[in-house]
Amino acid sequence: MTATYPPAEPIWCAGCGHFGVQGSLVRALDTLAIERHQVMVLAGIGCSGTIQSNLGTYGYHALHGRVLPTATGMHLADPDLTVIATGGDGDGYAIGMGHLVHAFRRNPSFTYIVMNNGTYGLTKGQPSPTSEAGGIAGPALDAVTLGLSLAGSTFVARGFVRWSDQLDRLTVAALEHSRAGRGFAFLEVLSPCVIYNDTYPAWEASLRDVDDDPDHDPSDRSGAFRTASELSAAGRMAVGLIYQAPARAAAAFTGAPRPAAELVDPRRHEGAYRELVDRYRV
């Protein structure tokens, strides 16, 4: 048996939704029989930024807003590794938003789980990009419709920690998608902060489970966008597997990653380097 790191004890407040995210991740890894030493979990800033310490996998605490480029590098370095990027809505949708847009566009095959609680809990409750606070904060950002609007996206889903059975299924589906080389698996999880933004009742009342809708076709991007947009305009949110590109469509956007050693092999640049040095010698 390969040795792994002993999981740390979570430091979250009692009732924090992040416990549900962690539980679903543990169960998904077990369901798919993924050995912990074959997994790299990266985390961003904020309360969610400690989840990588609790799973017994390899882990890395990325710089503020930089979890996605770091995860992309991990995936390029070892395409056989199961790479899971995690973070909060502040980390991913504020300073990290530019990286999220390009992750959708480039479609690298790893999973990104965003724990959305609508607040900056670690710094005591300021409104995040998904907050409904209004005023200078503006309208809430909807990352699901953003992802659906970008042609490169191949997997867009949203779960709710109180609906644990569905969240387990979505987490498994996201990992299966990325591990099969089908591209970037984006899973937003509604994960309330019981101290600064206890949205358990409000969110549960506003959700619509598209998995239970016989008319919802998760392979239809236009239909998924229309459904998510209409719900958002009505102050509601779609939950479930909102969009997954058919395998043939995903293949059109996703190329097999080249090993990092090949990308940075100094022999590829030796001629240009010597020419540059010779020019400076003149």
Nearby residues of 56 by Cβ (< 8 Å), 6 or more positions away: 4, 5, 6, 7, 36
Residue 2's pLDDT band, with cuts at 50, 70 and 90, is low
Task: With respect to residue 11, please indicate whether it lies within any of the assigned structural domains.
Answer: no
Phi-psi region of 219 (alpha: psi -120 to 50; beta: other; left: phi over 0): alpha
Instruction: Between 64 and 129, name the one with better pLDDT.
Output: 64
Task: With respect to residue 85, please indicate whether it lies within any of the assigned structural domains.
Answer: yes
CA distance 113 to 121: 17
Task: With respect to residue 264, please indicate whether it lies within any of the assigned structural domains.
Answer: no
Which has the closest alpha carbon to 55: 79, 85, 23? Answer: 23
Task: With respect to residue 248, please indicate whether it lies within any of the assigned structural domains.
Answer: yes
Enclosing domain of residue 78: 18-256
Q: What is the CATH number of the domain that holds 74?
A: 3.40.50.970
Number of structural domains in the chain: 1
Which has the closest alpha carbon to 251: 177, 143, 157? Answer: 177
What confidence tens digit (pLDDT) does each residue in 65-108 have?
A: 899 999 999 998 888 999 999 999 988 998 888 999 999 999 99
The angle subtended at Cα 101 by Cα 147 and Cα 89, nearest 5°, is 75
How many other C-beta atoms lie within 10 A of the C-beta of residue 226? 13
Structure tokens at 112: 């990104």
Contact of 48 with 88, CB cutoff 8 Å: yes
Q: What was the pLDDT predicted at 135? A: 46
Task: With respect to residue 4, please indicate whether it lies within any of the assigned structural domains.
Answer: no
Q: What was the pLDDT predicted at 119? A: 81
Task: With respect to residue 266, please indicate whether it lies within any of the assigned structural domains.
Answer: no
Task: With respect to residue 2, please indicate whether it lies within any of the assigned structural domains.
Answer: no
Task: With respect to residue 277, please indicate whether it lies within any of the assigned structural domains.
Answer: no
